[in-house]
Structure 1
Amino acid sequence: MNHHQLEKDIEHLEQVIARLSGNDRIPLSYWRNRIESVSNANLVPSQIQRVKRLAQALGELEMRVKEGSSHETVR
């Protein structure tokens, strides 16, 4: 993947992940796959940190969604 496309992909993910909720049309697994795809590219150190932050933010959202769905099934 070329440097400019990689940067655009990371920027796009940063914008999307910041606005995601568990109720979006596109499943969180899609965004997890996108982050993993970018993380497999040849990244510079600053991009590695950005992708790590994206993965962490998505992981936190995944946990909140999982906790929310387990509370609903208990009711």
Structure 2
Amino acid sequence: MHHHLFERELVHLERVVACSPKEPFPPTYWRDRVEHLKNCPHEPLYSYRIARLSQLVAQLSG
């Protein structure tokens, strides 16, 4: 994934997940999107932000 697309996806998820959206998408949808970021080459630079997103998604499932 290109660096700018990665950053845009990360920012989008940070905004949306922070609002605790349980509908219309289930927490598994958000978890899958965050997991996808972990497979990108840019992940090491953003590991803190991705870990934070993972925690927020886990709280949605809570």
> What's the TM-score, normalizing by structure 2?
0.88
How big is the alpha-carbon RMSD for the aligned residues of Structure 1 and Structure 2?
A: 1.1
Runs of 4+ in 1 over 2 A off after TM superposition: none
1:30-69, aligned counterparts within 5 Å? Answer: 30-42=29-41, 43-45=43-45, 47-63=46-62
> What's the TM-score, normalizing by structure 1?
0.74
Letter in 1 for 2:33: R
Q: How many residues align?
A: 61
- The structure with higher relative contact order (CA 8 Å, sep 6+) is 2
Query: Structure 2 unaligned runs (5+)?
Result: none
Query: Structure 1 unaligned runs (5+)?
Result: 64-75
Q: Are 1:17 and 2:14 an aligned pair?
A: no
